[in-house]
Amino acid sequence: MSLFLKYEDMWDMDLGGEPSKKEIPHWFGNLAWIVIGGLCKLLFRYRVDNRQKLRAFQNAEGAIVICNHTSFFDVVFMYLAARPSQWVRLMGRDSLFDNAGGLLGQILSRVGAFPVKRDTADMTSIKRAVRMLKRQELVGILPEGTRRGKSNRKPDIHAGVAMIARMAKVPILPMTVRGVEKIKNKGERVHFPKVTVDYGDPILVSDFDFLPKDDRLEACSWYALRECFALFYNVKPEAVDMSALFPDAKDYTAVFAEHPMPRHTSEELAEAARAKAAAKAAKEAAKAEKASKDADAAGADKE
């Protein structure tokens, strides 16, 4: 049990993917899940709907889990909903990790979070996320970049989500947390509403290749966020007014009305990932067997 670790070191350690000897120690994350999870269960009576859509990826492939952002509690429930059998590596703005003299950075890093520099093409964080995903880990991202209606910053659609998914060759899984937006509003007391976490269907970046190259990543991120808001408002995706939610972003409503996107299930994609991994393992085994036979034959010739 490691009590003291540099949180910078933990950002490059593994957590919850393929078996590894270089994992972040689990004891703190497990303790946090028990304590914080218990309090949230008591105070907010939270429940998780369609969790099987997340569970399907376990031991199959990595996935980017995305959520619309209405409260600081979004990330709390994004983390809690995956536990205890899965971990979500949350990507958070770098300034959070220096709060409280670095104590918050230690806490966040212990549960698997890692930093990203806001409003920049932070290739260090992007490559870190891609490595995690290729190891079958889950990475949680809030593509709006800021809490809606809770700060002076205007929410925007960041195409980095789709870029990371394409680089890692993993699906994007939309989710939402309903009720957290009612917990604390400016000038009001704290409320304790019922909270519901809900998962949608996974999205493949490759499905957007019909679009011009310059639009693909932005359109994919736009589409994925629309799925999150459809879950949040409990409506069909087509009923979400994205131009009202993101007035400064390009609107792809007409594009997807003319070109309906294929729907996938988590089970379908997980099975395909397992089949691909099995085929790769069989190919490598056959190659190794052939190399062994060639070596034996060469040895026999020398004799």
One domain for residues 250 and 273:
no
Structural tokens at position 5? 């670790």
- Measured distance CA(270)–CA(243) in Å, rounded: 33
pLDDT given for residue 83 in this prediction? 95
Q: pLDDT tens digit string along 239-269? A: 999 999 999 999 999 999 999 999 999 999 9
pTM: 0.92
Q: Is residue 2 part of a domain?
A: no
**Which amino acid is residue 110, in one-letter code?**
R
One domain for residues 199 and 111:
yes
One domain for residues 37 and 78:
yes
One domain for residues 279 and 250:
no
One domain for residues 91 and 183:
yes
One domain for residues 217 and 230:
yes
- Measured distance CA(156)–CA(143) in Å, rounded: 8
One domain for residues 129 and 183:
yes
pLDDT given for residue 302 in this prediction? 66
Q: Domain limits at 191?
A: 7-264
pLDDT given for residue 15 in this prediction? 97
* Strands of the 196-199 sheet, one edge to the other: 47-49, 196-199, 172-178, 63-67, 138-141, 88-93, 114-116
pLDDT given for residue 146 in this prediction? 74
Q: Is residue 32 part of a domain?
A: yes
One domain for residues 12 and 39:
yes
Residue 291 buriedness (CB in 10 A; 0-12 / 13-18 / 19+): exposed
- Walking along the chain (303 residues) 10 residues at a time, the average pLDDT comes out as 77 94 94 96 97 98 96 94 96 81 84 86 91 98 79 80 97 97 86 97 98 96 98 97 94 96 97 94 87 76 65
- Measured distance CA(29)–CA(144) in Å, rounded: 26
**Which amino acid is residue 186, in one-letter code?**
K
One domain for residues 223 and 295:
no
Q: Is residue 1 part of a domain?
A: no
CATH code for the domain of 36? 3.40.1130
